[in-house]
Chain A
Amino acid sequence: MFDVLLKHMNYIAAMALFVIGLYTVLMHQNLIKKVIGINIMETSVFLFFVSIGMVQNGQAPIINLKDASVTYVNPIPSALILTGIVVAVSITAYSLSLIIQLYKQYGTLNLDEMVDEVEHD
Chain B
Amino acid sequence: MNDLIVKTIVRWVIPFIQLFGVYVVFYGHVSFGGGFSGGALIGASLILYAITFGLKASKKMVPHKRSQWMESLGILWYIALGLVGIYTSAYFLGNKAAGFYMGEAGQLLSAGIIPLLTIGIGVKVASTMITLFQKLVEENEDV
Contacts and interface: CB of A to CB of B under 8 A. Distances in A.
Direct contact of A and B (CB under 8 A): yes
Nearest to A82: B36
Interface of B: 30-32, 36, 105-106, 132, 135-136, 139-140, 143
Interface stretch (A18-26, A33-41, A95-103): A95-103
A93 B36 contact: no
B139 A100 contact: yes
Contacts of B140: 100
A85 B39 CA distance: 14
Contacts of B143: 103-104
Contacts of B30: 62
Nearest to A97: B136
A108 B12 CA distance: 39
Contacts of B106: 65
Contacts, number: 21
Interface in A82-98: 82, 85-86, 93, 96-97
A60 interface: yes
Nearest to A66: B106
B31 A96 contact: no
Nearest to B106: A65
Interface of A: 60, 62-63, 65, 82, 85-86, 93, 96-97, 100, 103-104
Contacts of B36: 82, 85-86
SS class of chain A's interface: helix, strand, loop or mixed?
helix
21 contacts: A60-B32, A62-B30, A62-B31, A62-B32, A63-B105, A65-B105, A65-B106, A82-B36, A85-B36, A86-B36, A93-B132, A93-B136, A96-B136, A97-B135, A97-B136, A97-B139, A100-B136, A100-B139, A100-B140, A103-B143, A104-B143
Contacts of A93: 132, 136
Given A60-B32, A62-B30, 19 more contacts: A62-B31, A62-B32, A63-B105, A65-B105, A65-B106, A82-B36, A85-B36, A86-B36, A93-B132, A93-B136, A96-B136, A97-B135, A97-B136, A97-B139, A100-B136, A100-B139, A100-B140, A103-B143, A104-B143
